[in-house]
Chains A and B, each alone.
Chain A
């Protein structure tokens, strides 16, 4: 996972699709995909990752943010990040970053 001091995760960074709008709501993040018409609600961890993804943060920066916020090891944070991004891809909310 760690290569030459930088964290590499396959498929990250990603780009949020143009038809997805997001809005923080209390500690959650609400997403609306105007292509499918489906609303999504992200919990606080999802909201944290999402807010970094939309800014184009590197996987290392996102993992650092997760470990700073939650009491988890970087490996566990990386696994959470990978799983979350895979879920976003499966739901067609993000695409490959160009």
Chain B
């Protein structure tokens, strides 16, 4: 790893840890509505004017940084929290990442899952996103364009 890549990786890890702190507080103290509001905002890829073209190395570096941060984190981190954290790290890198939500029926029970998509990549720590039917959050994206 070059010096520049090492610095970028360390910065991503730091951002991931910070996002883990913030989202842990959100999930534990914020209540369901606050989590829902954060999720609603996160299904929108941040259409910043300075959004960068999606670069594979940057995407996977952010993904690995979040995995590292989760290993250091003493609390359990579920899929939605992971997705919110990863989206934040990618967005801070200027990439238009969005949280995706899916559902499936498993043994008669409704299950939900969350993962991140950016530039055609589906990033899912649990690697099970393909077993879920994606909810059509695109309709929310068209209604919530970030200026």
A25-B103, A39-B112 in contact; A30/B32 too (CB < 8 A)? no
| Nearest A residue to B36, CB-CB | A37
Asked if B140 contacts A37 (CB within 8 A), the reply is no
Q: How many A-B residue pairs have CB under 8 A?
A: 54
Interface segment out of the listed A1-9, A14-22, A55-63, A70-78? A14-22
Asked if B39 contacts A34 (CB within 8 A), the reply is yes
A32 on the B face (CB < 8 A)? yes
Which residues of chain A come closer than 8 Å to B35, judged between CB atoms? Answer: 37
Interface segment out of the listed B10-18, B53-61, B118-126, B130-138? B130-138
Contact size range, A: 10 to 19
A38 on the B face (CB < 8 A)? yes
Known contacts A25-B103, A25-B105, A36-B36; 6 further A-B pairs (Cβ under 8 A)? A21-B135, A21-B137, A23-B133, A23-B134, A28-B105, A34-B40
A residues at B contact (CB < 8 Å)? 18-19, 21-23, 25-26, 28, 30, 32-39, 41
